[in-house]
A and B are shown apart, each in its own frame.
Chain A
Amino acid sequence: MAYRFQRDLEDSSLDSYLQSATAPPFHATDYLSIVARFRAGNAVDNHTLVTLRLTDTNTKQNLYLLRACGGLSGDPIRFAAFYEGTEYYVQSTAAFSANTWHTVIATANNTDRKLNISLDGGTFVTQTIAKLPNGTPWFVQISGLVYYRAISGSMAELALYNCDLSASAYADDVASLVKGFSPARVRPPNLIAYWPLVRGLQDVRGGCTLAAYNNPDVVEHCRVIS
């Protein structure tokens, strides 16, 4: 099983998504990596894959946002860090394709203030930024709604690590993830949350179970080596 999401044509608050009531400690260290497998139904829309939301500071939004941006030139994957409403981002140089399973790895490194992204094992693209999100982890959302619209397509696995997988020391781990090995078998000491989305909505690592909103469909999962 994986989950397929739809956009509501009339009201974006009815887009389908998954959300946890609590968040894993994705800001507990200076390093964060997100591993996601997705399959967008088109390369035209901007598909929200994952939002890691922190509590608002000064009434302004703080979050990490991973989107497959068919609405941008080159159809990149954009990994953005919002510090009090101001966006810092890095984009993949490779394009995503419609109706194809992709693996994206996005990392944030607060030691050297860099964002990195790799699509399907390609070389990491790096961007130096000034700020990372501020606040306390609030919730995790797969797909999206309202302003960051849902993915028109499917999401399979999502994993969060407290290390920077773009570092050369982790090249073999990245290769394993891209080949399809389950994150449960890759760097388990650094794995802080893992939603296989195969048999239910449990976070088998951190216990942050997701809830489904607006009826996402259960569909065929991509191949995973466990």
Chain B
Amino acid sequence: MKITLELLKEWNACERALTWFARDYPDGVDAPVQELCDKVIPADWRKYDSLWLLHEVAARVDGKDGDEAMALLVERADGSRLAKAVLEIEKRDTSAALTRLLQVGDAANLAQVIERGTDAQAVQAAEALKAVDPAALKGSESVLTGARAALVQEVQRGI
């Protein structure tokens, strides 16, 4: 996949990354997505910058590169980025991201999906939260708005 300075600007990369890329790759870089993440991005920044790149490619790029980025994102992302993928990526199926979030996400990450996901996603997230911390699910009623608070109540009652 070809990455250029103009592309990174269009994707709102941070100033640090733009400065580095303009200096080290003035003509852009063309490499597989995994190699971009694991070799091209400097080691000191790799942990988070690679997750940012995977999210942007998965969210914006059609075809094989986008699919590969989505798979790597699901494999490597922490709970907050899995929730972000579920809520923000519209170009491709995010059910694998949700499945992994249900397995690893802590209460706050599940709460993002309960609050902002589709009804079906919210129910799944609420069920997962009920399993790991039912008191947190009960407490969520105090911070959710009407319809979603009612949905949480239904999950608590096992409806």
Contact = CB atoms under 8 A, between A and B. Distances in A.
10 A-B pairs with least C-beta separation? A12-B139, A13-B139, A87-B80, A147-B108, A13-B142, A147-B107, A146-B139, A12-B136, A11-B138, A12-B135
Contacts, number: 72
A37 interface: no
A72 B107 CA distance: 14
Nearest to A14: B139
Interface in A115-141: 127-131
Interface centre among A87, A113, A145, A149 (most CB of B within 10 A): A87
A102 interface: no
B155 to A, nearest CB: 15
Given A13-B138, A13-B139, A128-B44, 11 more contacts: A8-B139, A10-B138, A11-B135, A12-B133, A14-B139, A85-B80, A85-B84, A127-B47, A130-B45, A131-B14, A148-B108
Interface residues of A, number: 26
Interface string A150-177: 0000000000000000000000000000
Contacts of A10: 135, 138
B142 to A, nearest CB: 4
Nearest to A89: B78
A147 B140 contact: yes
Interface residues of B, number: 29
A29 interface: no
B81 A147 contact: no
A113 B140 CA distance: 33
A216 B16 CA distance: 44
B83 interface: yes
Contacts of A127: 47
Contacts of A194: none
Nearest to B47: A127
A145 B44 CA distance: 34
A17 interface: no
Contacts of A88: 48
Interface of B: 14, 16-17, 44-45, 47-49, 52, 78-81, 83-84, 106-108, 111-112, 133, 135-136, 138-143
A46 interface: yes
A149 B133 contact: yes
Contact of A146 (B17, B47, B140): B140
A86 interface: yes
A14 B135 CA distance: 9
Interface string A6-36: 0111111111000000000000000000000
B48 A85 contact: no
A82 interface: yes
Nearest to A126: B44
A225 to B, nearest CB: 37
A9 B138 CA distance: 10
B142 A146 contact: yes
Contacts of B14: 130-131
Given A46-B106, A129-B48, A130-B45, A85 B112 contact: yes
B143 A146 contact: yes
Contact of A11 (B81, B111, B139): B139
B92 to A, nearest CB: 20
A86 B84 contact: yes
Nearest to B110: A147
Contact of A82 (B80, B106, B139): B80
Given A12-B133, A128-B45, A130-B52, A86 B139 contact: no
Contacts of A46: 106
Contact of A147 (B17, B78, B136): B136
